[in-house]
Amino acid sequence: MIYYENLALLNQQFSEELQHVFQEVLAEGWFIEGRRLGQFEAEFAAYCQVKYCIGVSNGLDALKLALIALDLPPQSEIIVPAHTFIATILSVIHAGHIPVLIEPDMATYNINPQQIEEKISSKTRALLAVHLYGKMCNMSVLIEIAHKYNLYLIEDAAQAHGARYNHQVAGSFGDMAAFSFYPSKNLGALGDAGAVISNHSRYALKLKALRNYGSSEKYHYEMIGHNNRLDELQAAFLSVKLRYLDQINAHKRQLARIYLQYLKEDFIKPQVHPDYEDVFHIFAIRHPQRDQLKAYLIDKGIQTGIHYPIPPHRQNALKSYFVGENYPLCEEIHKTILSLPISFIHKEEEIYQIIDVMNQFSM
Per-residue pLDDT in tens (0 to 9) along the chain, 363 residues? 999 999 999 999 999 999 999 999 999 999 999 999 999 999 999 999 999 999 999 999 999 999 999 999 999 999 999 999 999 999 999 999 999 999 999 999 999 999 999 999 999 999 999 999 999 999 999 999 999 999 999 999 999 999 999 999 999 999 999 999 999 999 999 999 999 999 999 999 999 999 999 999 999 999 999 999 999 999 999 999 999 999 999 999 999 999 999 999 999 999 999 999 999 999 999 999 999 999 999 999 999 999 999 999 999 999 999 999 999 999 999 999 999 999 999 999 999 999 999 999 986
Phi, psi of 297 (to 5 degrees): -70, -40
Secondary-structure percent of the chain, ordered helix, strand, coil, rounded to 5: 40, 20, 40
DSSP per-residue codes, 250-274: HHHHHHHHHHHHHS-TTSBPPP--T
Kindly give the pairing relationship between strand 77-81 and strand 124-130. Answer: parallel
Residue 29 CB neighbour total at 10 angstroms:
8
Residue 308, preceding peptide bond in cis (omega within 30° of 0): yes
Is 153 within 8 Å of 167 (Cβ atoms)? no
Convert 252-271 to b/e letters by CB count within 10 Å (16 or more is b): bbebbebbeeebeeebbbbe
Task: State the pLDDT at residue 362.
Answer: 82
Distance CA 157, CA 28 (A): 32
Distance CA 89, CA 102 (A): 12
Distance CA 129, CA 29 (A): 39
Is 185 within 8 Å of 237 (Cβ atoms)? no
**What is the four-CA torsion angle of 8, 11, 17, 22, rounded to 10 degrees?**
-50
Whole-model pTM over 0.75: yes
Distance CA 203, CA 184 (A): 28
Distance CA 345, CA 252 (A): 10
3-state secondary structure 27-40: HHCCCECCHHHHHH
**What is the four-CA torsion angle of 57, 59, 64, 68, rounded to 10 degrees?**
70
